[in-house]
Amino acid sequence: MPIPGSDPATAPDRAPTKADEALLDLHDERARLERGLSLAQARQRFGADAAEMERAHEEEGRLLARLDGVLTQIRAAEYRRRPGARRW
């Protein structure tokens, strides 16, 4: 899903930068993680046996931890794109 205002075709006379590409990559990873979470949750609800449901639960935990990190990176990248953003 494109980020509003991030489409180089609609940006006024500006070529996409590495930062733009990195942000889009982060959003792609977020989408993949969210799909994986949906599948893990479905396997927990509709799993054939207890072992499969437990593996899905463990996978969900790993995916949630990774999603938290990706969302933090997205927030940081979006902040850095703002005019006058501080650098730490």
**pLDDT tens digits along 6-42:** 555 555 567 888 888 999 999 999 999 999 999 999 9
| pTM for the predicted model, two decimal places | 0.76
Structure-token pair, residue 71: 């969302």
What is the percent of the chain with per-residue pLDDT over 90, rounded to a whole number? Answer: 66
Alpha carbon distance 8, 1 (integer Å): 14
Please report which confidence band the pLDDT of residue 80 belongs to, taking 50, 70 and 90 as the band edges: confident
Residue 61 exposure: Cα atoms within 13 Å on the Cβ side = 5
Residue 12 confidence (pLDDT): 59
Q: CB count, 10 Å around CB of 59?
A: 17
Per-chain mean pLDDT for the chain: 87
Q: Could you give all domains of the chain from N- to C-terminal order, each with its CATH number?
A: 18-80 (1.20.58)
